[in-house]
Amino acid sequence: MKNSTKYIEQALILENRSLATGVYQLVVKSPQISAACSPGQFVMVKVADSSDPLLRRPLSIAGADPDQASLTLIYRVVGKGTERMEQLQPGSFVNVMGPLGRGFDLSPQRLLLVGGGMGLAPLLFAAERCCPQPVEVLAGGRTEKEMFWNELFQNRCEQLHITTDDGSLGFCGTCADLLPQMLAGARFDGVLTCGPRPMMKRVAAIAAQAGLRTQVSLEEHMACGLGVCLTCTCSATDGGTRQVCKDGPVFWAEEVDWS
Amino acid sequence: MSSCLQTDLAGIRMRTPIMVASGTFGFGEEFFGFTDFTDLGAIVVKGMTREPRRGNSGRRMAETPSGMLNCIGLQNPGVEVFLQEILPRIKQLDTPIIVNINGNVQEDYAYLAEVLNESGVDALEVNISCPNTRHGCMAFGVIPETAAAVTAEVKKRTRLPVIVKLSPNVTDIAEIAKAVEAAGADAVSLINTLVGMAIDIQTWQPVLGNVVGGLSGPAVKPVALRMVWQTAQAVKIPVVGMGGISTADDAVEFMLAGASAIAVGTANFINPRTVNEIAAGLRAYLAQRELSQVGELVGKIRTGV
C-alpha cells in the first residue's frame, strides 16, 4: 500500500457535469496530484475561499490521467460543501490537497472489485489502473437510476455484474447477495471493496470463507486529512487505533474491528 | 532573513511569535513538505497524558458555521512513547518544542512535569481546559483555587517555563489568570475551545458521540480576542493568544490586544501553510507601519481615544 508525496494545487476546473440526480463528475487540471496519486487515495478539496464552509471536503479519486494532467472526482451533493461544489463552473478554480492516505495494493493477478453506491468511485480508478490485467466488477445500487456507473466501467473491466436492491437492473439484491456464487468458480485471488460499512463487512466475511483477502476502503468524518486532527479514528483488531486518513483509507479487512 | 519577528516568550527564544495550538499540528511531522518550519516560533504537541489514551468513541467532529466542534478526548500515545520514539525525531527540527500536559488528577500533572523536566523539551503547557474528558482537566481550570494548585505542583517539579492553558468556559477568565500567575505560571495561553453542541434534526440525536464538544475556528475569534484583552490587562506574565486565528490581520489584532505570541489552530487543518502566510503578512505589516520589531505591537490597543 502506497504513501506518496503530498501537494496543494489551485486546480482549474475542466468539467463539472451531472451524471445522475445529485451526482456530479468534477474534472480538474492538477499536474502534480494526477501524476502522484494511486487508486484508493483521496484528496481534500476547498470549495470556496471563505470560512463557511470552513473545512476541506474529502473526496476519493475516481480517475487520473498524468498525460492530460487531469484528475477526476465523482461526488454526491449531501451538504453545504457539495452544494457549493455543484455550482462551480469550468474555468474557475478549486484548491486541492493530495494525494492523501494509503491506496489499494493492486498486485494480485485476478481482482474482484465490489462497490456499493458512491463507493464505486475509487474502484473506477482501480479498474483503470489494473489494465491490462483483467478485472471483474460487482457494482450495487438501490435502483437502476443510480447505476450510471454502467457506462463509466465500460472498457475499464472485463466483466461488469450489476445488482439493484429493487431488481430494476441486473440481479435483484445486494452485492453481498450475489458474491458467494461469483466466488464459487475460484477465479479470483483478491477482493477490493468500497461502500456502506455493513456491506463491506459482509463482503470481507464471504471472501474470507472463500479463502480470499479483502482490502476495504473506509469513510469517516475528518477535518484535516493529514493525520493530526484525530477525528477519523477507527478501532483495529490488534486493540489499537488507526487514522482513516493516514493509515487508510484502505485497510486489510482483518485489521478492522467491525464491532 | 530579518529578525523583526524574533520573540522571547517566558525565556523561550522563538524565531517568530507564531506558534501552533496543541492538537492541530500533530507532532509536526505530518506537515513536513507543506510548512516552512523556519517561520514557526514553537511546536506545541498534541495533548499528552501519563498513559496512552484511545480518545472518545462515536463521531468526533461536526462542522458548524465558520467553525468546528470536536470531542477527540485526548487521544495520544502516552508520555513514554513520546519520549522514546517521537521526541528524538522532532528534536532535529531546530524549533522549540512545548509539551501540552493533561491529567485526571493533580498527581498526573506532577508526574508528567517531572519526567519531561530533563527530556530536552523547551517548555510545558499545562492544559486545565480540555472540555472533552470525563475526569480532571477542565475541572481544574474553572476554579481559581484548583487552577493555582495544579500550577504550583507543576512548578515544583520542573525548571522549564510553564504556560497554563486557560478555559473560556468560565465567568471571569482574568480571575483564573491571576490565580495561576500568583502560583508561579510563567505565561498563560488562551483560549481553549468553547463548549458547544449540534443536533441532527432528522434523527433528533446529538451529532457528536460525546454529545458536547469544543468549538474552534473563525467563529470563536471575537470571543477569544476579548478574553485575551481582558487577561492581558489583569496579569504581568506574557499571554499567548489563540482562537480562530487564520490570517496575519487576525494575529495583529491579538497582539494589539496584548498577546506576546499567537497560536494557529483550526486553520492548520484547512491550509498547512497558514503559519508561513501569517509570517509573511506580519513582516509586510511591520514594514508598512515602519515598525522594526513585532513586540512593538503587544498591548498597543488604543482605547478611550
In this structure, what CATH number is given to the domain that contains residue A130? 3.40.50.80
- The Cα A196–Cα A259 span in angstroms is 14
**Chain A residues in contact with B218 (beta carbon < 8 A):** 51, 54
Dihedral angle, C-alpha B167, B171, B173, B177, nearest 10 °: -100
Residues 6+ apart with CB under 8 A from A14: A27, A28, A29, A70, A90
**Chain B residues in contact with A247 (beta carbon < 8 A):** none
Task: Mark yes or no for CB contact A228/B26 under 8 Å.
Answer: yes
**Chain A residues in contact with B100 (beta carbon < 8 A):** none
Judged by a CB distance cut-off of 8 A, whether residue B68 touches chain A is yes
Task: Name the residue facing A6 among B26, B33, B75 (closest C-beta).
Answer: B33
Residue range A190-196: mean pLDDT, rounded: 97
**Chain A residues in contact with B275 (beta carbon < 8 A):** none
How many Cβ atoms are within 10 Å of A147's Cβ, its own excluded? 24
**C-alpha distance from B268 to closest chain A C-alpha (Å):** 8
Judged by a CB distance cut-off of 8 A, whether residue B61 touches chain A is yes
- Phi first, then psi: give them for residue B296, nearest 5 degrees: -65, -15
In chain A, which residues touch B (CB < 8 A)? 5-6, 8, 46, 51-56, 80, 97, 221-224, 226-233, 235, 241, 246
Residue B1 confidence (pLDDT): 52
| pLDDT confidence tier of residue A154, bands split at 50, 70 and 90 | confident
Q: Are residues A117 and A68 in the same domain?
A: no
- The Cα B174–Cα A225 span in angstroms is 36
Task: Mark yes or no for CB contact A228/B269 under 8 Å.
Answer: yes
Q: List the single residue in A with minimal CA-CA distance to B71.
A: A231
Single-letter amino acid, residue B220: V
Q: Are residues A93 and A31 in the same domain?
A: yes
The domain limits of chain B are 7-58+72-198+215-297
Is residue A187 one of the residues assigned to a domain?
yes
Is residue A230 one of the residues assigned to a domain?
no
**Chain B residues in contact with A241 (beta carbon < 8 A):** 54-55, 75
- What is the pLDDT tens value at each position of chain B, 305 positions in all? 568 999 999 999 999 999 999 999 999 999 988 999 999 999 999 999 999 999 999 999 999 999 999 999 999 999 999 999 999 999 998 999 999 999 999 999 999 999 999 999 999 999 998 877 777 777 888 999 999 999 999 999 999 999 999 999 999 999 999 999 999 999 999 999 999 999 999 999 999 999 999 999 999 999 999 999 999 999 999 999 999 999 999 999 999 999 999 999 999 999 999 999 999 999 999 999 999 999 999 999 998 77
Dihedral angle, C-alpha A63, A68, A69, A73, nearest 10 °: -30
Residue range A114-136: mean pLDDT, rounded: 92
Task: Name the residue facing B270 among A54, A230, A231 (closest C-beta).
Answer: A54
Does the pLDDT value for residue A4 go beyond 60?
no
Task: Mark yes or no for CB contact A54/B66 under 8 Å.
Answer: yes
Does the pLDDT value for residue A199 go beyond 70?
yes
**Chain A residues in contact with B30 (beta carbon < 8 A):** 226-228, 246
In this structure, what CATH number is given to the domain that contains residue A91? 2.40.30.10
Q: Are residues A212 and A191 in the same domain?
A: yes
Task: Mark yes or no for CB contact B246/A51 under 8 Å.
Answer: yes
Q: Give the residue among B79, B71, B72, B119 at the shortest CA–CA distance from B103.
A: B79
Q: List the single residue in A with minimal CA-CA distance to B245.
A: A51
Single-letter amino acid, residue A193: T
Task: Mark yes or no for CB contact B33/A52 under 8 Å.
Answer: no
Q: Mind listing the pLDDT tens digit for each residue in A54-84?
A: 999 999 999 999 999 999 999 999 999 999 9
- Cα Rg of chain A, angstroms: 17
Residue B130 confidence (pLDDT): 81
- Phi first, then psi: give them for residue B147, nearest 5 degrees: -60, -45
Residue B304 confidence (pLDDT): 79
| Range of weakest confidence among A25-39, A100-114, B32-46, B130-144 | B130-144
- The Cα A177–Cα B155 span in angstroms is 63
The domain defined by B7-58+72-198+215-297 folds into TIM Barrel (3.20.20)
Q: Are residues A91 and A123 in the same domain?
A: no
- Counting the structural domains of chain A, the total is 2
Does the pLDDT value for residue A1 go beyond 60?
no
Is residue A29 one of the residues assigned to a domain?
yes
Report the b/e string of A217-239 with b at 16+ CB within 10 A.
bbbbebbbbbbbbbbbbbeeeee
**C-alpha distance from B180 to closest chain A C-alpha (Å):** 29
Which of A228, A232, A235 should one mutate to test binding to chain B, selecting the residue with the greatest count of B CBs within 10 A?
Answer: A228
What are B195's strand-pairing partners?
Answer: B214
Q: Which DSSP string corresponds to B210-234?
A: TSEEEEESGGGHHHHHHHHHHHHHH
Q: Are residues A16 and A49 in the same domain?
A: yes
Does the pLDDT value for residue A2 go beyond 60?
no
Judged by a CB distance cut-off of 8 A, whether residue B91 touches chain A is no
The H or E element containing residue A44 is strand A42-46
Task: Mark yes or no for CB contact A54/B266 under 8 Å.
Answer: yes
Q: Give the residue among A40, A35, A48 at the shortest CA–CA distance from A6.
A: A35
Task: Name the residue facing A55 among B60, B270, B273 (closest C-beta).
Answer: B270
- Model pTM? 0.94
**Chain A residues in contact with B34 (beta carbon < 8 A):** 6, 8
Residue A3 confidence (pLDDT): 42
- The Cα B206–Cα A212 span in angstroms is 39
B130 is catalytic: yes
Residue B140 confidence (pLDDT): 86
Task: Mark yes or no for CB contact B54/A53 under 8 Å.
Answer: no
Average pLDDT of chain A?
94
Expressed as residue numbers, the domain containing A150 is 111-217
